[in-house]
Amino acid sequence: MDFTFFFFFILTLLLWEVAVADNVSFDFPSFTLNNITLLGDSSLRNNGVVRLTNAAPTSSTGAVVYSQPVSLFHASFSTTFSFSIHNLNPTSSGDGLAFFLSPNTTLSLSGPLGLPTATGFVAIEFDTRLDARFDDPNENHVGFDVDSMKSLVTGDPILDGIDLKSGNTIAAWIDYNTQYTLLNVFLSYSRSSKPLLPLLSVKFDLSHHLRDPVYVGFSASTQGSIELHHIKNWTFHSKTITTTLHHPHNVSVVGISRSGATKKRDKRVVGIVAGSVSFFVAFTIFLGYVFVRRWKIGGRKEREKDKFQKSGFVAYPREFHYKELKSATREFHPSRIVGHGSFGTVYKAFFISSGTIAAVKRSRHSHEGKTEFLAELNTIAGLRHKNLVQLQGWCVEKGELLLVYDFMPNGSLDKMLYKEPERGKLLSWSHRQNIALGLASVLVYLHQECEQRVIHRDIKAGNILLDGNFNPRLGDFGLAKLMDHDKSPVSTLTAGTMGYLAPEYLQYGKATDKTDVFSYGVVVLEVACGRRPIEREGSKMLNLIDWVWGLHSEGKVIEAADKRLNGEFEEEEMRKLLILGLSCANPDSAERPSMRRVLQILNNEAAPLAVPKVKPTLTFSSDLPLPLTIEDIVSEADQESMCEIKID
């Protein structure tokens, strides 16, 4: 390393000054009328607590704001406050309260939460009402709002054991880092113990949205219920950071005749030089230590990678350390489990150093798990599509096999379709259309557009994840098979999930692009009907395909539409989706469309296919028995699934 270059590099760092401007800081351990403004029905109680709403059966709206506007352009801020929401009538609930940043203080007296009417506001809502108008997930959630009551991201306080309307005092921390454009929200029943992990984490650039300056404060409304909202204390700190780099020629040089001030500057220069030299020596020793250590560790890791290369693994995303993943998942705590797949258990992971959230898939510690691990890595490492779950990295340590993916906040499609209405929001018709379109798009990519054709083999609602905007992301490639475009598919062991498996796949165990099309058709029918592929009705099992086809044969296919949508859909579009699902789920693989044709139909670039009124039947030779038993075919995640297979 060149000493002169290193010296001036260190000198530059030492002369880098950080100037902080427009900082705002205030602390209200209890409230007085100094520096706050009460709006609407809010009032200051004798104990120094602000009550935002009245205890009246009619609607009440109120707010409290810091009297002076705050400049948050390219500024980080942190705020801590304690609040309580007391519901006096358990049979009803108000809207809760919100912390907001707004360019003005004109409240919406009739709107939920009493948030400002002007555009340009950002709010963290502590919502105690399930309002279908805003796609609320439940009546106890925290949400991130921008110009709308429809939260961009929500978090569930129950995961941390917190009931917002219990009447107990709840401490909240909201931290925004302008450098990483990351906003984190923490909740606890104790103000002295801030949780390590946030309840809500949002990556959003406030400087691109907020008009400068803004007012900061709290608002609440009751919407006709008797609910009391109290703010008990509040601290707020903001910091705008700008950097100024002083050129080296601004440093005075040593002369023959100097004033006292010049001598002081000269001493500082000498100190800087001496410090830089000392730092350089120490840094060189440190580099030597790190080099030797990494050389030893690197040799071991290269040997491990060689083993993977021999197994066919050719691409390397980021390699995570086991310790890092263990910490991010709270040592793989059961409370962090968000799902199960063919590969193993999926955990929600929060990386404190970067403030990011990911999903970590952990193997079942078996030879089969290792085989699936290698298959998934080898398959997805080179795939890029907006409707695929993005792989962030992997880890092989401590006998563990781990994959790290982007975290999908809305979970899997099956959980969204079938969870109880009071526990979450119902997928709208536009969301369902987008899911069918996005899934078709990614399957066209896998079948025809990527370098090697990919047959997924396990397309089902549980393997389709939804991002924050309910866009579909196909995941779980543990069962995928790669094949060259110019080669025929090879026979493999039958695997997958009952209800999604094509008849010829069950019979011969041969996976093709048409078996993926069949599974896609089942998912489309699920999305349109809101019913599982196989359901128990009394003592019998109902097959979704048979049920929809029966209605189609009677000319009443539209009656298969999900009743929970209450008719809020375009009837012709629903009919088209149902017919498309049937055409893809045709028992005769030769009659199924390609995924490209499916995509063209959805985009209105091709006419829908004709579907026979009577469902076609297939006959298999009795000389060709099923390759596996039902127990072998049904995936572990769907042990309760059942179906009937008839062999002529």
319-361: per-residue pLDDT in tens? 899 999 999 999 999 889 888 765 678 999 999 877 889 999 8
d(CA 138, CA 126): 11
Q: Which residue has the higher pLDDT, 6 or 299?
A: 299
Termini Cα distance of the chain: 79
pLDDT at 269: 46
Of 446, 642, 441, nearest in space to 539 by CA? 642
* Confidence at residue 591, expressed as pLDDT on a 0 to 100 scale: 94
Q: Where are the alpha helices (DSSP H) in 481-535?
A: 503-508, 513-529
The segment with the largest mean pLDDT, out of 121-130, 537-546, 569-578, is: 569-578
> Which has more pLDDT, 437 or 632?
437
Q: What is the mean pLDDT of residues 37-57?
A: 85
Please identify, in words, the CATH class of the domain defined by 413-638.
mainly alpha
Q: Give SS3 for 344.
A: strand
State the Cα–Cα distance between residues 135 and 145, nearest whole angstrom.
12
Confidence at 10, pLDDT banded by 50, 70, 90: very low
Is 323 strand, coil or helix?
helix
DSSP code of residue 21: E
Kindly state the average pLDDT of the residues 447-462.
87
Lowest mean pLDDT among 56-60, 149-153, 370-374: 370-374
Cβ 174 vs Cβ 185: under 8 Å:
yes
Q: Is 165 annotated as a binding residue?
A: no
3-state secondary structure of 312: coil
Predicted pLDDT at 475: 85
Q: What gap in Å lies between CA 124 and CA 98, rounded to an integer?
A: 6
Residue-averaged pLDDT of the chain:
77
- Tell me the backbone φ, ψ of residue 410, rounded to 5 degrees: -95, 10
pLDDT at 378 over 90: no
Number of H helices, E strands in the chain: 12, 27
What gap in Å lies between CA 596 and CA 441, rounded to an integer?
A: 8
* Both structure tokens of 248: 């080296």
Residue 623 has pLDDT above 80, yes or no: no
Q: Where are the domains of the chain?
A: 16-244, 263-310, 318-406, 413-638
Report the pLDDT averaged over residues 262-288.
Answer: 55
CATH architecture of 318-406: 2-Layer Sandwich (3.30)
More confident residue, 416 or 370: 416
* Residues 350, 357 contacting (CB under 8 angstroms): yes
The pLDDT of 396-401, averaged and rounded, is: 80
pLDDT value, residue 592: 95
Band of residue 100 on the pLDDT scale cut at 50, 70, 90: very high
Highest mean pLDDT pick, 112-116, 400-404, 506-510, 632-636 = 400-404
Mean pLDDT check: name the lowest of 202-206, 254-258, 443-447, 547-551: 254-258
Smallest Cα–Cα separation from 55: which of 67, 43, 73?
43
- For residue 356, the cross-strand partners are 351
Report the range out of 40-54, 428-442, 610-624 with the highest average pLDDT. Answer: 428-442
CA distance 528 to 393: 35
Q: Do 112 and 203 meet the contact criterion of CB atoms below 8 Å apart? A: no
Residue carrying the six token digits 């608002």: 219
Per-residue pLDDT for 85 more than 60? yes
pLDDT at 468: 86
Helices 429-444 and 595-602, packing angle to 10 deg:
150
How many CB atoms lie under 10 A from the CB of residue 326? 18
Q: Is 476 noted as a catalytic residue in this protein? A: no
Coil/strand/helix, residue 305: helix
> Which is more confident, 465 or 286?
465
How much is the average pLDDT of 123-135?
87
pLDDT on residue 600: 95
Cα(180)–Cα(446) distance, integer angstroms: 34
DSSP annotation of 510 reads B
Check residue 388 and report its DSSP letter.
Answer: B
- 192 has pLDDT over 60: yes
Q: Collapse the DSSP code of 259 into the 3-class scheme (helix H, G, I; strand E, B; otherwise coil) and give the result.
A: coil
Q: What is the mean pLDDT of residues 598-610?
A: 93
Where does the pLDDT of residue 508 fall: very low under 50, low under 70, confident under 90, or very high at 90 and above? confident
Q: List alpha helices for 554-629, DSSP H.
A: 571-584, 595-602
CATH class of 16-244: mainly beta
What is the model's pLDDT at position 31?
93
Cβ neighbours of residue 259 under 8 Å, at least 6 residues apart? none
Instruction: Choose, from 41, 135, 136, 458, the residue flagged as catalytic.
Output: 458
Name the one residue in this structure whose structure tokens are 């489990």: 337
Question: Is pLDDT above 70 for 527?
Answer: yes
Give the DSSP per-residue string, 409-434.
TT-BHHHHHHS-GGGSPPPPHHHHHH
Q: Does the pTM exceed 0.75?
A: no
| pLDDT (0 to 100) of residue 538 | 75
* CB burial string 107-141: b at 16+ within 10 A, e below: bbeebbbbbbeeebbbbbbbbbbbeeebbbbbbbb
pLDDT (tens digit per residue) in 236-272: 999 876 544 444 333 333 333 333 333 444 445 445 5
Q: CA 400 to CA 43: how far, in whole Å?
A: 57
Over residues 161-171, the pLDDT tens digits come to: 888 888 899 99
Q: State the average pLDDT over residues 555-571.
A: 94
Q: What's the whole-number mean pLDDT along residues 36-42?
A: 88
